[in-house]
Amino acid sequence: MSGQEQNEAGSKAAVKQAGTEVATPKRTKEIIAKYGFSFKKSLGQNFLIDQNILNNIVAAAELDETKGALEIGPGIGALTQRLAQAAGKVTAVEIDNRLIPILKDVLAEEAHTTVIHGDVLKLDLKQLFAEQFADVSGVSVVANLPYYVTTPILMKLLEEKLPLEHIVVMIQKEVAERMAAKPGGKEYGSLSVAVQYYCVPKVVCTVPHTVFIPQPNVDSAVIKLSLREKPAVDVPDEDHFFRVVQASFAQRRKTLANNLTAFVGKERREALTEMLLSNDIDPIRRGETLSLVEFARISRSMLEAGWGTQSVSS
């Protein structure tokens, strides 16, 4: 696109936003009143009214007219509007059927935008991608995720190994910090390892609770997860690797040796200690100090010994 074309496109978007921009307190309240919409606390519904935050989210997704965006939980379409201006194809999945007519109204003039009523946790995402994004060069997930389903949705997106470039989501600030945490800090845990196994995380910005209608009780953050071409570490069995990680954080105040003994059995305590030492890992360390490489070494050694092949009991 030439510089002149970019300026013209930007001008058109600015004119459009001036009259129909959803992400303002006035417009959001008008839409709520027009449709008699009432918020469901059980769905974690909070509508963003800050245009600068929307700009940050869309910019982080690195979209252009050749790419597609999957939006989860579009609400009344504030973010969807911006995505439609940035991407060649936008598909929005909304669980609340009361919002579908609102979205179709708000997005009536947005070409290449599809609204689907459904629960993303129950959808066949590979089929959805095949149907919705066959003609784009890349796809990113962009969403304002309800706090109560953040981890299940993200892990589904990652574990299904979808052809994604980025996942840009607004989530609870503390959860974003855990995803991006490095070994040695109190925020570092099994979620950190799982996310960083698949992605390179970066916190884009923090979002105060005051820029939503209604206001949530906690602040949020926008985090960008850039999908790796291959996982951060090579492991022979991903399921076993993640069970080892889960076991290592089972009781954070306990040493690695104690947590993993509960995982492999007391009768293997001495052999476990020897195995850790042979991998240059002090048995008295805690799980929060281990890198992904060290977790991978432990998992590989356990598999070679035939340990921990059963699921961790909850």
* Residue set of the binding site for S-adenosyl-L-methionine: 46, 48, 73, 94, 119, 144
Could you give the residue ranges of the DSSP H alpha helices within 146-235? Answer: 150-159, 173-180, 190-198
Token output for 136:
């784009």
Going by C-beta distance under 8 Å and a sequence separation of 6 or more, which residues neighbour residue 23? 48, 49, 50, 51, 54, 78, 79, 81
Q: Annotated binding residues, as ranges?
A: 46, 48, 73, 94, 119, 144
DSSP at 232 = S
Cα–Cα distance for residue pair 29/99, rounded to 1 Å: 14
DSSP secondary structure code for residue 253 in this structure: T
Q: Write out the DSSP string of 292-307.
A: HHHHHHHHHHHHHHT-
Tokens of 287: 């799980």
Q: Count of CB atoms within 10 A of residue 121's CB?
A: 12
The tokens describing 93, both together, are: 């999945």
